[in-house]
Amino acid sequence: MFFIFGIGPKTKVVEKKQFACPVCRTYSSYELKQQRNYFSLFFIPLIPLSKPKTAFVKCLNCSTDMPSNVLQHAQQKGPFD
């Protein structure tokens, strides 16, 4: 009998909303995501091994990953001001 186990990241979607994307310059949907390392057994993540890492934003229009502080910048200004 043998076991397949390992440690790897798992990405979780924290929120889905809309914002003004600075890359594709459109008002589109985004996903705010966080990663965390898990112990996995037979490729199933079971036990979290780390605290959540820094969040990142993925624009669903252009598929660009950006740091989460883009959302604060977009709230301070209007779309493309």
pLDDT confidence tier of residue 29, bands split at 50, 70 and 90: very high
pLDDT > 70 in the chain, percent: 90
Residue 63 to residue 34: CA distance in whole angstroms: 16
Residue 30 to residue 20: CA distance in whole angstroms: 9
Q: Where are the alpha helices (DSSP H) in the chain?
A: 69-76
> pTM of the full predicted structure?
0.72
pLDDT at 77 over 70: no
* Domain-wise residue ranges, the chain: 5-76
